[in-house]
Amino acid sequence: MSAEIICVGTELLLGDILNSNSQFLAQQLAKLGIPHYYQTVVGDNPERLKQVIKIAISRANILIFTGGLGPTPDDLTCETIADFFGVPLVERPEIIEDIAHKFAQRDRVMSPTNRKQALIPQGAEVLPNPTGTAPGIIWQPRSEITIFTFPGIPHEMHRMWQETAVPFLQNQGWGKEIIYSRSLRFWGIGESALAEKVSSYFNLPNPTVAPYAGKGEVRLRISAKANSAAAAEELIVPIEQQLKEIAGLDYYGADDETLASVVGVLLRAAKETVSVAESCTGGGLGQMLTEISGSSDYFWGGVISYDNSAKARLLGVNPEDLDKFGAVSATVAEQMAIGVKSRLETTWGLSITGIAGPGGGTETKPVGLVYIGLAGPKDEVKSFEYRFGTMRDRWFIRHLSACTALDLLRRRLLSR
């Protein structure tokens, strides 16, 4: 029993989009213990798609298609699969009803072209799409072949996969040895420095440990092969504990945890609150904090003081200091943090002011220079200077600034 991932779309052949669907499905198949040995990308072309299906059924039993389920004429996946197996398409009224209902919810009228999305091969089950109009199918056109189709839009596909495909696949008992992974996340240490500290772990046979770096953070992935999640957990936990101990405060969380979620857990536990004052990040720090549902328990708001007038008017930063030291300075960062904390009466005030570039840098204040201010209980306030470098782009400097601010608060909350 093995699967093949088949992504359909001329946009993939033109390089217009990155094929993140393959990676998602590959990870998911590994989690389910279903082996897969091939991934194929093909354009919106019925003849070539049929060739791909012919090859795939000769080497795999589970064919997972993404893309080509939309309402437009170039969306041909479903009808081409049906045609390949010589089965007619039938219109399913419940799909039309569902699509019409979704349009109505958005105060729109379903367009006639959407009817096409209700055409499903005879005998196939509908794989419902809770967030979009294109349903998928689960279909066994022959006894040894199972076909899944998903729309190419990642968030729609993810949800359909989790809600319908995963339970279906689990029920079939096709999963063999499960590969179970945990990612440990680190902030404030480079990949090679961390790798040196834990190098002896890279030769373990099971679980394996491998480092990854990206977007300013380093991760160590612990992967165990086992027959059950519980058995994998037994293999992973001791290694996880040892790695955490070695890394100390540089370790911040695992798997889906983020710096913002970890800070949220700490603030909620301490019954404390935070507010933010942002210059160069322009709202990015507040956005990170509020990605967490329920963050209103500890995040009360903030000020985006992009222009100097906003720093003075909304935060009470001294205009003379703005003139004398400049907006990107330690004292302005501290005044911003104090200003927002006192105006919103929160336990902590966190501020960022810096030069995100590409313009605006000078000899003494180059692109990447960032000051982060942290005001806390008993009128304590500190600022921290960072030089994120002239070679990083605007996105990365802003991302590092917001993450580093969260990391500073995290370390402060853990060190008392």
* 363 lies in the binding site for a second copy (CB under 8 A): no
CB of 199 to a second copy, least distance (A): 8
Give yes or no for a contact between 119 and 134, defined as CB atoms under 8 angstroms apart: no
The 81-100 contact track toward a second copy, x by CB under 8 A, reads --------------------
**Among all chains, which residue has been given the structure tokens 């720093």?**
311
Of residues 85, 174, 300, 384, which one binds a second copy by CB under 8 A? 300
The 230-259 contact track toward a second copy, x by CB under 8 A, reads ------------------------------
> Which residues does residue 410 pair with via DSSP β-bridges, in sequence order?
none
* 192 lies in the binding site for a second copy (CB under 8 A): yes
* 145 lies in the binding site for a second copy (CB under 8 A): no
Residues numbered 151 to 180 that lie near a second copy (CB under 8 A) are: 153, 155, 179
Give yes or no for a contact between 127 and 169, defined as CB atoms under 8 angstroms apart: no
From the list 292, 282, 335, 295, the residue with the least C-alpha distance to 312 is 335
* 185 lies in the binding site for a second copy (CB under 8 A): no
Cα distance from N-terminal residue to C-terminal residue, the chain: 54
User: DSSP strand E in 264-330: where?
Assistant: 274-278, 299-304
Choose the binding region for a second copy from 79-87, 164-172, 272-280, 372-380 (rule: CB under 8 A): 272-280
Residue 325 phi/psi, 5-degree rounding, is: -100, -15
* 46 lies in the binding site for a second copy (CB under 8 A): no
Tell me whether residue 82 or residue 280 sits nearer to a second copy (CB atom): 280
* 310 lies in the binding site for a second copy (CB under 8 A): yes
Choose the binding region for a second copy from 210-218, 229-237, 318-326, 408-416 (rule: CB under 8 A): 210-218
* 42 lies in the binding site for a second copy (CB under 8 A): yes
Tell me whether residue 199 or residue 241 sits nearer to a second copy (CB atom): 199
Tell me whether residue 313 or residue 324 sits nearer to a second copy (CB atom): 313
Give yes or no for a contact between 332 and 353, defined as CB atoms under 8 angstroms apart: yes
Q: Who's near 413: CB < 8 A, 6+ residues apart? A: 263, 266, 267, 270, 272
Q: How many of the other CB atoms lie within 10 Å of CB of 257?
A: 15
